[in-house]
Homo-oligomer: A and B are copies of this chain.
């Protein structure tokens, strides 16, 4: 109760299974007394391209544009574009970040990758030697909740899909100091019975009831590749 949750949601259709998962999360977490904010990326027409438009005013080096350097400098002087500042504010306030999306090509949809590319800039999410356990977004939790179009076997190695999650969970969240909860995965919701779909939705709702008691997973390379 009193916890703040940001759900970054990347699906075009509210009536989709991802849309139902979002709705359940908003309802269940609100019922718990959490304050829930949703960044509905498609509805916001969120810009995924990392360009010069993300910097308001002058460039640090207008001779050769370097996105990483320019956004870092812009962050320090308060010169990032309005849409980024708003997303950063939501991240800053959140105790938990939930990413809700359909897996596309073994990965996040581009619109969500663009959120990562543009929002988590140097100075805000990490800094020179402030990475991984020293990252700037410590004391936050994250959870990747996604649907997959294929069976687990298609994406798993020796029955385990953790390898697929390495770039997202370790490479992004852990890098920024954000702790990672077990991913929540729904396999082929489009190819199962209505009854099975309801079970999957109920399981998500059930998990959220005790979410705050969960321990983060070990996100180190050793855990992934032991």
Cα A140 to Cα B42 with chains together (Å): 33
Chain B residues with Cβ below 8 Å from A212 are none
Would you call A93 an interface residue if the criterion is a C-beta within 8 Å of the partner chain's C-beta atoms? no
Q: In this complex, what residue of B is CB-closest to A157?
A: B225
Contact A107-B111, Cβ < 8 Å, known A12-B51, A164-B167? no
Chain B residues with Cβ below 8 Å from A48 are 48-49, 110-111, 114
Chain B residues with Cβ below 8 Å from A51 are 12, 42
Would you call A149 an interface residue if the criterion is a C-beta within 8 Å of the partner chain's C-beta atoms? yes
Contact A107-B167, Cβ < 8 Å, known A157-B224, A158-B225? yes
Tell me which of B111, B157, B164, B171 contacts A105 (CB under 8 A). Answer: B171
Stretch at the interface among A29-37, A65-73, A82-90: A65-73
CB of A96, distance to nearest CB on chain B (Å): 20
In the complex, how many residues of chain A place their beta carbon closer than 8 angstroms to a beta carbon of chain B?
49
Chain B residues with Cβ below 8 Å from A52 are 12
Cα A4 to Cα B224 with chains together (Å): 40
Tell me which of B65, B108, B225 contacts A113 (CB under 8 A). Answer: B108
Chain B residues with Cβ below 8 Å from A67 are 12
Contact with B along A149-183 (1 / 0, CB 8 A): 10000010110000110111011100100000000
Residues of chain A from 46 to 98 with CB closer than 8 A to chain B in the complex? 46, 48-52, 63-68
CB of A216, distance to nearest CB on chain B (Å): 19
Contact A50-B225, Cβ < 8 Å, known A67-B12, A167-B164? no
Chain B residues with Cβ below 8 Å from A117 are 104-105, 109-110
Contact A110-B105, Cβ < 8 Å, known A63-B15, A157-B221, A163-B163? no
Would you call A188 an interface residue if the criterion is a C-beta within 8 Å of the partner chain's C-beta atoms? no
Asked if B114 and A163 make an inter-chain contact with CB atoms under 8 angstroms apart, the answer reads: no
Given A16-B65, A48-B114, A105-B171, 18 extra CB contacts under 8 A = A16-B64, A16-B66, A48-B49, A48-B111, A49-B111, A50-B111, A66-B190, A105-B113, A105-B172, A106-B170, A106-B171, A106-B172, A109-B113, A110-B114, A113-B113, A155-B171, A157-B225, A163-B166
